[in-house]
């Protein structure tokens, strides 16, 4: 079945450091790919998405590129802030299905 | 006001008790979902509903039941709670069609079963 694999956390960075959170997937067809973010005490919010190969999703300084050849959708940010501290979830939706499949989440901790 | 609300936000109960978690939305979406979140396991789908008369099991529906009382309300019940149902539960909504894949999540209910 479809699945999403994320790097384990926590990822601990200093403010203004470069961030990469790895995400790879297994799916049939051409899934849509997502990054959701969960801030402390809150529900998940969509951060960015990409619906076809080579698409780049971006939002709030975060970017991720849909790489079909490597089945990856890595999340990057050039300069993290303390306010980026949260749990980040990679997810996919397979073609023709209405359900999301989530990765296990990666906690990001950014210190001043 | 929040578009997706969940009640209660926190609940502690004992093994064998019946528990109902409620979700309400003002977004006018047809599709509603219940997930549970466990450390190291991410979010797993319990049940989902595409409209009032269309309810489907997710990957971990055993021990749970749901009721879609209206378009805006989707309740999750634990008929006889057990300790391994201790988790954070999220409700989510999504519009039908419109070309969007975005799901909108409630703030979550933290359930502890002793």
Predicted confidence (pLDDT) per residue in A6-17, tens digit = 988 899 999 999
Whether B107 shows a pLDDT value over 70: the answer reads yes
Query: What is the structure's pLDDT at B1?
Result: 55
Q: Which residues of B touch A93 (CB under 8 A)?
A: 101
* Subunit contact A100:B108, Cβ cutoff 8 A: no
Look at residue A28 in the predicted model and tell me its pLDDT: 82
Q: Read off the pLDDT band of B82 (50, 70, 90).
A: very high
A102 contact B CB<8A: yes
- Among the partner residues A51, A93, A102, nearest to B43 by beta-carbon distance: A102
Best mutation target among A39, A50, A98, A106 (most B Cβ atoms within 10 Å) is A98
Distance CA A9, CA A4 (A): 15
Q: Which residue of A has its CA nearest to B110?
A: A41
Look at residue A8 in the predicted model and tell me its pLDDT.
Answer: 84
**Cis peptide bond prior to B8, omega within 30° of 0:** yes
CB contact under 8 A, A43 and B105: yes
Cα-Cα-Cα-Cα torsion A43, A103, A31, B59, nearest 10 degrees, comes to -80
Q: Largest alpha-carbon pair distance within chain A?
A: 44
Strands in A75-77's sheet, in edge-to-edge order, are A19-21, A75-77, A62-65, A56-59
> pLDDT tens digit string along B20-46?
999 999 989 999 999 999 988 888 999
The stretches in chain A having pLDDT less than 50 are: none
Contact flag B107-A43 (C-beta cutoff 8 Å) = yes
Percentage with pLDDT > 70 across chain B: 94
């Amino acid at each position: 079945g479809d699945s999403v694999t994320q790097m384990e956390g926590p990822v601990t960075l200093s403010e203004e450091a470069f961030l990469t959170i790895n995400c790879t997937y297994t799916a049939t067809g051409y899934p849509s790919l997502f990054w959701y973010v969960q801030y402390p005490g809150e529900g998940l919010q969509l951060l960015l998405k990409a619906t076809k190969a080579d698409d780049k999703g971006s939002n709030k300084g975060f970017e991720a590129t849909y790489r079909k050849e490597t089945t990856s959708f890595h999340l990057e940010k050039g300069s993290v802030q303390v306010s980026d501290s949260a749990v980040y979830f990679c997810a996919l939706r397979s073609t023709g299905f209405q359900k999301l499949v989530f990765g296990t989440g990666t906690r990001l901790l950014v210190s001043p | 006001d929040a578009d997706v609300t969940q009640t209660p936000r926190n609940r502690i109960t004992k093994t064998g008790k019946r528990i109902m978690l409620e979700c309400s939305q003002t977004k006018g979406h047809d599709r509603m979902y219940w997930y549970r979140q466990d450390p190291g396991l991410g979010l797993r789908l319990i049940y989902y509903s595409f409209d009032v008369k269309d309810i489907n099991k997710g990957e971990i529906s055993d021990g749970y039941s749901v009721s879609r009382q209206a378009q805006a309300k989707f309740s999750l019940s634990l008929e006889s709670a057990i300790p391994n149902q201790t988790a954070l539960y999220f409700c989510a909504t999504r519009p039908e069609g419109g070309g969007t894949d975005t799901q909108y999540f409630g703030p979550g209910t933290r359930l502890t079963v002793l």
